[in-house]
Chains A and B, each alone.
Chain A
């Protein structure tokens, strides 16, 4: 009887201790989650800085590019980061990166109706896109201008200017996140029929750029001749493209009635075939330098090449084979690709391609601890100096899958050690 009474005091004190411990545990666990959240926030900031370091790494590489040199797959920049396979270590932070030639993509701001038709887009979407970009107020029959956008339930005005980012097309009638970010495997139009397997198709977002400039110079850095330039004489042209003055005069037209050329393809049609190479390398149809919207034949991927009107899958394979083996150092090199010297094809593609680029895209993921921040940056080379033009968070959650990177990096590259 006495024993059990003493025991009751012990049990009461145990209960009190247990209660106190429970209170302490609750406090500790909330504190822990608060601290954890704080650490996560700190790690995100550090991961972002690591991703920005990747952009600086890309800038350093691009500043070594020679001016006027062709932009090739054999250049050092092309292998930088090896498509995410290298993990660059900076202290406890790290980043993975890939550098892409923006000129390997289709330029949203210069693409013509014909070029857009080879993308998985309906004619309504193409009309709406061109209407949104062009400054005139008249909408196409199946397009859309202010009359349409101001009647939406959340109204706004059509931009009527060039696109600043690729995701800006989400403001254009008919463009949903699905159209922009997912491969359109079900889509069929005259252009997609000739293209590869549906499951290999890229989402529109990875095929487009808002910025792509190429130098308009010859392989030796000389400015090209503007065939529409008022003071271009027949003898100058004859000397540069290696034809007689009479032939050059015939291309230029008479003094009082000069021929106007909208495309290099039209110049080629009037010239003898032995002058085609020289025309491709030395002649342009406008004075712009650099010129916007050309596709760099050295870096264009199969998916992009297949969208170019006039290129058959065989010709595309010919181009792809040459890209890593010396590439195309000047535009006339395309004549050696089987099927491209044919005048009909050449006329169609002569205005599409360039051999160099001054715009580059950086894909990078900065990581530290559990945090990782994927970003995309656009670097442009102006006056021989690379400059970060845009730097943004990648809009989607699964960058590694979308960029077709390996899940994990295979090599670690310590950067601080290298610097010491």
Chain B
């Protein structure tokens, strides 16, 4: 008959203690890992959202175009202070209205079934192609379906030279609390721009958009306008 000796109380306590510490450390590390992963994921989603927004703005601005025909008033590039603003941004433009080719035709529109006629396509996609008139502003032009703060985008096809109305409006980027636009005339950044007061309508060579979201650092987007002919040797005259 063999005598089996059990554990002493001290031995048991030591084992329980060690196990507890190891388990706690492991759990903590696990939770840390999970939250880190979540943070990365949401950060990535947010970055993707910001990138989509900034790419859209870039695409619209890159297509900015004004005709040089003297009697054609349908195209314009106007950056100034919107109505009803108290001037918190120090007189710089916070509203931008311009005519643009505005990116490519949508793939869904182009690949619509051949037997769909003009009216059906209009119902599904609205007017397409050509020069669009675009407004970017924190104050919606019309009565938006959602009453929310953010940057509103109004698109009107065809451009009619009247920036105060018409077209379709959407909330492009919710949560934006402040936005300013600046315009490079070839030599220096200007606070506003208006092709309607120019004898020859010319575009700035670049546009800088500075915007803020709540509790987020300020972001800056700079877009070069390929349709501009402004260079340091041939700058656009002082804007009134």
Task: Find the A residue at minimum CB distance from B168.
Answer: A154
Chain A residues with CB below 8 A from B103, complex form: 393
Given contacts A164-B67, A175-B118, A177-B109, contact A159 B129 (CB under 8 A): no
Confirm or deny: A156 has a beta carbon within 8 angstroms of a beta carbon on chain B. Answer: yes
| Complex Cα–Cα for A153 and B117 (A) | 13
* A165 near B129: Cβ-Cβ < 8 Å: yes
* B158 near A154: Cβ-Cβ < 8 Å: no
* B110 near A154: Cβ-Cβ < 8 Å: no
Choice from A168, A174, A182, A388 contacting B129 with Cβ under 8 Å: A168
Task: Find the A residue at minimum CB distance from B158.
Answer: A159
Chain B residues with CB below 8 A from A98, complex form: none
A residues 152-177 touching B (CB-CB < 8 Å): 152-154, 156-157, 159, 161-165, 167-171, 173-177
Chain A residues with CB below 8 A from B109, complex form: 177
Choice from B105, B114, B158, B226 contacting A156 with Cβ under 8 Å: B158
Choice from A162, A390, A395 contacting B110 with Cβ under 8 Å: A395
Choice from A52, A154, A397 contacting B226 with Cβ under 8 Å: A52
Interchain nearest-CB distance for A262 vs B (Å) = 22
B residues 139-189 touching A (CB-CB < 8 Å): 156-158, 160, 166, 168
* B157 near A156: Cβ-Cβ < 8 Å: yes
Choice from A153, A391, A397 contacting B122 with Cβ under 8 Å: A153
Q: How large is the interface on B (under 10, 10 to 19, 20 to 34, 35 or more residues)?
A: 35 or more
| Complex Cα–Cα for A178 and B116 (A) | 9
Given contacts A176-B117, A390-B227, A395-B104, contact A161 B127 (CB under 8 A): no
* B127 near A171: Cβ-Cβ < 8 Å: yes
| Complex Cα–Cα for A167 and B128 (A) | 8
Interchain nearest-CB distance for A384 vs B (Å) = 15
* B226 near A391: Cβ-Cβ < 8 Å: yes
Chain B residues with CB below 8 A from A168, complex form: 129-131, 158
Confirm or deny: A263 has a beta carbon within 8 angstroms of a beta carbon on chain B. Answer: no
A residues 285-307 touching B (CB-CB < 8 Å): none
Chain A residues with CB below 8 A from B101, complex form: 165, 390, 392
Confirm or deny: B65 has a beta carbon within 8 angstroms of a beta carbon on chain A. Answer: yes
Chain A residues with CB below 8 A from B127, complex form: 154, 156, 170-171
| Complex Cα–Cα for A391 and B100 (A) | 11
Confirm or deny: B215 has a beta carbon within 8 angstroms of a beta carbon on chain A. Answer: no
Task: Find the A residue at minimum CB distance from B33.
Answer: A23
* A392 near B131: Cβ-Cβ < 8 Å: no
Q: Residues 171-192 of chain A: 1 if any B CB is under 8 Å from the residue's CB, otherwise 0? A: 1011111100110000000000
* B122 near A154: Cβ-Cβ < 8 Å: yes
| Complex Cα–Cα for A291 and B103 (A) | 31
Choice from B114, B130, B229 contacting A164 with Cβ under 8 Å: B130
Interface secondary structure of B, over-half rule: loop
* B65 near A390: Cβ-Cβ < 8 Å: yes
Given contacts A171-B158, A392-B63, contact A178 B119 (CB under 8 A): no
* B122 near A167: Cβ-Cβ < 8 Å: no
* A177 near B110: Cβ-Cβ < 8 Å: yes
Question: Which has the most chain A C-beta neighbours within 10 Å: B109, B128, B160, B166?
Answer: B128
Confirm or deny: B92 has a beta carbon within 8 angstroms of a beta carbon on chain A. Answer: no
* B65 near A164: Cβ-Cβ < 8 Å: yes
Q: Residues 196-230 of chain A: 1 if any B CB is under 8 Å from the residue's CB, otherwise 0? A: 00000000000000000000000000000000000
Chain A residues with CB below 8 A from B119, complex form: 152-153
Chain A residues with CB below 8 A from B166, complex form: 156-157
Interchain nearest-CB distance for B133 vs A (Å) = 11
* B130 near A163: Cβ-Cβ < 8 Å: yes
Given contacts A171-B158, A176-B121, A391-B226, contact A154 B126 (CB under 8 A): yes
Chain A residues with CB below 8 A from B121, complex form: 176-177
| Complex Cα–Cα for A34 and B158 (A) | 39
Chain A residues with CB below 8 A from B131, complex form: 164-165, 168
* A174 near B158: Cβ-Cβ < 8 Å: no
Interchain nearest-CB distance for A130 vs B (Å) = 16
* B226 near A165: Cβ-Cβ < 8 Å: no
Q: Residues 82-115 of chain B: 1 if any A CB is under 8 Å from the residue's CB, otherwise 0? A: 0000000000000000000101110101101010
| Complex Cα–Cα for A173 and B121 (A) | 11
Interchain nearest-CB distance for A203 vs B (Å) = 12
Interchain nearest-CB distance for A107 vs B (Å) = 15
Confirm or deny: B72 has a beta carbon within 8 angstroms of a beta carbon on chain A. Answer: yes
Chain B residues with CB below 8 A from A397, complex form: 107
Confirm or deny: A141 has a beta carbon within 8 angstroms of a beta carbon on chain B. Answer: no
Chain B residues with CB below 8 A from A396, complex form: 110
| Complex Cα–Cα for A389 and B66 (A) | 9
Choice from B63, B72, B156 contacting A162 with Cβ under 8 Å: B72
Given pairs A165-B131, A176-B116, A177-B112, 16 additional interface contacts (CB within 8 A) = A156-B127, A156-B158, A156-B166, A161-B74, A167-B105, A167-B130, A168-B129, A168-B130, A177-B121, A181-B110, A390-B65, A392-B101, A393-B103, A393-B104, A395-B104, A395-B105
Q: Which 5 A-B pairs have the closest CB atoms?
A: A168-B130, A167-B129, A154-B126, A170-B129, A153-B123
- The residues of A with any CB-CB pair to B shorter than 8 Å are 34, 52, 152-154, 156-157, 159, 161-165, 167-171, 173-178, 181-182, 387-393, 395-397
What are 17 A-B pairs at a CB distance below 8 A? A34-B44, A154-B126, A156-B166, A159-B158, A162-B72, A167-B128, A168-B131, A169-B129, A170-B127, A170-B128, A170-B129, A171-B130, A171-B157, A176-B112, A177-B105, A388-B229, A390-B227
